[in-house]
Structure 1
């Protein structure tokens, strides 16, 4: 997932900074939290794409954090980091809602591989599921939008892909160059103008729900907000 946001919870500051800086070299946006309560707070405000949680943390441990978040979000991938290696600890991690479990010490390369695997799996699942965007239901595979119980709106192949990527980066700026190179295979002037036209078409097709906006962040890209 392009420019995915990772919420990293690690109370050991030196290790947390090493992980954060390493992930940022791979173009991830990383929000580093030092305890469980800070993690819950940032989850609610930052809308991350994946959680990387240390198990032993002040205020709330990683298992408790995962359980609380799972009550609100069943889909977000969660990776646990821990020095605990007994089978019962691993079982508790998965029972708390974890998708993966990485024992310390670990290599940064392995962590990155596991993050990318879970993000790719989440993207694949999203492509096969109905996605709720405000009052609309978006079917990526069928390339359709439906407003409440009204007639289905057909999307072109490029409109569907553009909306999918905007929604995957909801409330975050999707850089123009990233989406142009992904969907148009270049980021020249003519492709940029073409993308602007498709953005205008999507705005019209989403116009029945006034809470949905595709904001032009001048000089950077577009942001889908709802």
Structure 2
């Protein structure tokens, strides 16, 4: 598997420290000191993972994350923030990040989270061909989702959620079940990541995301894909 990582950090000492640790773990490292440079390098190098600081000169990390997610829906993105407020974490996830870490952090934990994200990306290679539910269809070999034959642009996590839902129509799935299936049993971040991704997914697949009729909320439990 591609083990190319893009490190986006304006502080050279931190960037260099991360570079050393990733190279020790057999990653190919690309660097960027700004959001603009990160987008430019991503377009050229096509990294599988991006480590993205939030506080950047020029366009900030949130906007950079949004652009990278739109242009590279299969890319894994982990944001770095020096602030511990819930709003910063939620904003990062809203803009398309897969995970986050708060500075200061242990580089070994960051490497472990990156490897976990790589395993989840790689596990998608073992898949069947077509999954159909009503007017929705998944071409699992191409990793594409369609509604009424129009393709829906999903992130890797949204795709995995969609696949789980369509494979389990009518079944109430708890937040913990979804967290374990999509983010892995070794995920140690905030469980709010499930709700954030469900909200983003609804915006893409529902007629009215504020009144979902396909991805139903099961109060006190989690979510359910409505049988068609």
TM-score by length of 1: 0.56
* Deviations, residues 183-213 of structure 1 (Å, cap 9, x unaligned): xxxxxxxxxxxxxxxxxxxxxxxxxxxxxxx
Q: Shift in Å at residue 69 of structure 1? A: 1.5
Q: Shift in Å at residue 48 of structure 1? A: 0.4
Q: Shift in Å at residue 32 of structure 1? A: 1.1
User: Would you say the 8 A contact 2:127–2:140 is kept in 1?
Assistant: no
Please give the secondary structure, in 1, of the residue aligned with 2:126: helix
User: How far apart, CA to CA, are the structure 2 residues paired with 1:129 and 1:7?
Assistant: 31
Name the larger-Rg structure. 1
User: How far apart, CA to CA, are the structure 2 residues paired with 1:74 and 1:138?
Assistant: 15
Q: 1:127 to 1:109 in 2, by over 3 A?
A: same
User: How far apart, CA to CA, are the structure 2 residues paired with 1:90 and 1:47?
Assistant: 25
User: How far apart, CA to CA, are the structure 1 residues paired with 2:48 and 2:72?
Assistant: 11
Match of 2:120 in 1: 121
User: How far apart, CA to CA, are the structure 2 residues paired with 1:109 and 1:53?
Assistant: 17
CA RMSD of superposed structures (Å) = 1.9
Q: Shift in Å at residue 129 of structure 1? A: 6.7
Q: Shift in Å at residue 72 of structure 1? A: 1.7
Return 5+ residue gaps in structure 1 as ranges.
Answer: 131-136, 141-226
Q: Shift in Å at residue 98 of structure 1? A: 0.4
* Deviations, residues 124-149 of structure 1 (Å, cap 9, x unaligned): 0133277xxxxxx9949xxxxxxxxx
User: How far apart, CA to CA, are the structure 1 residues paired with 2:98 and 2:128?
Assistant: 19
User: How far apart, CA to CA, are the structure 2 residues paired with 1:19 and 1:10?
Assistant: 10
Q: Shift in Å at residue 19 of structure 1? A: 0.4
* Deviations, residues 76-119 of structure 1 (Å, cap 9, x unaligned): 11000110110111110100100001000000100000000001
Which runs of structure 2 are paired with 1:64-75 in the superposition (5 Å)? 64-75=63-74
User: How far apart, CA to CA, are the structure 2 residues paired with 1:16 and 1:60?
Assistant: 18
Q: Shift in Å at residue 59 of structure 1? A: 1.1
User: How far apart, CA to CA, are the structure 2 residues paired with 1:99 and 1:87?
Assistant: 15
User: How far apart, CA to CA, are the structure 1 residues paired with 2:51 and 2:44?
Assistant: 16
How many pairs are equivalent?
133
Q: 1:139 to 1:97 in 2, by over 3 A?
A: closer
Return 5+ residue gaps in structure 2 as ranges.
Answer: 130-138, 143-228
User: Would you say the 8 A contact 2:49–2:75 is kept in 1?
Assistant: yes
TM-score by length of 2: 0.55
